[in-house]
Amino acid sequence: MTGRRHPGIDVLHSAGCRALSEGRCSCTPRFRAEAYDKRTGRRIRRTFDTLAAAKAWRADAQGALRRRTMQGPTGVLLRDLAADWLQGATNGTIRTRSGHEYKSSALRGYGAALEARILPALGGRKVEDIARADVQYLVDTLLAAGLSPSTIRNALMPLRVIYRRAVARGVVAVNPTTGLELPAQVGKRDRIVSPAQAQILIAALPEWDQAVWATALYAGLRAGELQALDWGHVDLAGGVISVERAYDRQARRFIPPKSQAAVRRIPLASVLRDHLISWKVNCGRDSGLVFGDDGQRPVYHPGLLRRAAASWRQAGLEGLSLHDARHTFASIMIAAGVNAKALSVYMGHANITVTFDRYGHLMPGSEHEAAVLLDTYLSLAGERSRAAGSFHQEHQHAG
């Protein structure tokens, strides 16, 4: 069922194809490319749907073998490679592309995705035998099973990371997770409330919940950052909140913030200062955790969310999530005229591009506003030019 018309590439015909009896091809053949590793004496083979893809892979593989950035088949199963990767990522010997240790929450998510979605389908396959078509078939299967686009994309994240490292280490030549056709994500619209609505929502809560929601709405802290906030990080006199750590609820320990950019100082608005002063007086502590039952153990948990939701329902109000509160903080800062760079710092974003991508639609800059600004500038420039011309003519006449 094979024939070779191109160096290093076999044409795989279907059974019954007329090409097998010296006739014209009557099937849709596949193409198996082969590269030889002189160091190990092993042959590396991959099968593709098109001749062009087979030729491209063979050229890349031969070059990688010559440069010794690739080796022959290892025979390692994906489940074993995944286990080694998780162990290395957990103990810190395998790190992110930026050189940082993986967060325990991220590793829990990766492990769950591997066990639930990836390994049942591909775990028993050799890593070098898994092709893009295999991963694409898995994506199509998960979509047909009713999984959401975001769930599918999240499930693929550990596989992408594992293969990216495998390619970099020369274990495989091709990353089968690239070039996939993934279902489009339809983003959920963020709920953003106005400053007046924020005050009403906070006022509808029990007194012991008001401070934490005020901090979420007026400082934009993430959930783990709220849990880890210490009174030593709150400068009521200086008007600054310092974010220096987060809390991992499942691991039950304090951890570094999400990224280096997440270590930041946030201006403390007067309305938030009032809430925090009131809370400090009521809880009777000036040290330890701001939102902790004894100043040591964070008590912020999903129960607080449910309690707030119940209070808002009882008051006939539409509630919001912590993510909504964070988005509201960003929108308030933008409306107040805070520039994009400063907002990026206060939000703890890795770079300003993240801020523009996330909140650019809220920033001034519509066509109408741009036209008004341009007209104003040109008008003022014209007035200055005419004034300068008049001044010049007057001096000429005076001369």
Residue range(s) defining the domain that contains residue 161: 78-168
Which residues are CB-neighbours of 51 under 8 A, at least 6 positions away?
6, 9, 11, 31
Q: Which two tokens stand for residue 94?
A: 């395998």
Specify whether 155 is located in the same domain as 226: no
Q: Residues 223-276: pLDDT tens digits? A: 889 999 999 999 999 999 999 999 888 778 888 887 788 899 999 999 999 999
Number of other residues whose CB lies within 10 A of the CB of residue 243: 23
* Domain total of the chain: 4
CA dihedral (246, 309, 196, 270) positive or negative: negative
Q: Which residue has the tokens 């191109």?
A: 6
**Per-residue pLDDT at 397:** 55
Q: Which of 11-25, 261-275, 325-339 has the highest average model confidence (pLDDT)?
A: 261-275
Per-residue confidence (pLDDT) for residue 69, from 0 to 100:
62
The answer to whether position 291 is within a domain reads yes
The residue among 15, 36, 67 that closes a domain is 67
CA torsion angle for 37, 38, 42, 48 (degrees, to 10)?
A: 30
DSSP three-state, residue 156: helix
pLDDT value at residue 300: 67
Record the tokens describing residue 170, joined without a space. 């020369």
Q: What is the pLDDT of residue 73?
A: 58
Q: State whether 206 and 352 are in the same domain.
A: yes
31 and 97 in a single domain? The answer is: no
Tell whether 190 is covered by a domain. no
pLDDT of 70 strictly over 90:
no
Given a cut of 80, is residue 361 above it in pLDDT? no
> What are the tens digits of pLDDT across the range 140-183?
999 999 888 888 999 999 999 999 998 887 778 778 999 899 98
| Same domain (yes/no): 298, 395 | no
DSSP 8-state assignment for residue 123? T
Q: What is the CATH number of the domain that holds 122?
A: 1.10.150
What is the pLDDT, as a whole number, of residue 252?
Answer: 82
Query: DSSP alpha helices (H): ranges in 245-366?
Result: 270-283, 302-314, 322-335, 340-347, 352-359
Residue 178 inside a domain? The answer is: no
Do 32 and 52 lie in a common domain? Answer: yes
Residues of the chain above pLDDT 90, percent: 36
- Please give the radius of gyration of the chain, using alpha carbons only, rounded to the nearest integer: 30
pLDDT for res 383? 76
Domain assignment of residue 72, yes or no:
no
Residue 176 lies in a domain: no
Residues 158 and 49 in one domain: no
Is residue 305 located within the same domain as residue 157? no
Residue pair 95/101 in contact by the 8 Å Cβ criterion: yes
Question: Do 219 and 336 share a domain, yes or no?
Answer: yes
Q: Are residues 227 and 123 in the same domain?
A: no
Do 110 and 218 have their domain in common? no
Note whether 84 and 58 are same-domain residues. Answer: no
* Cβ-contact 176, 130 below 8 angstroms: yes
Q: Which residues contact 208 (CB under 8 A, 6 or more apart)?
A: 279, 282
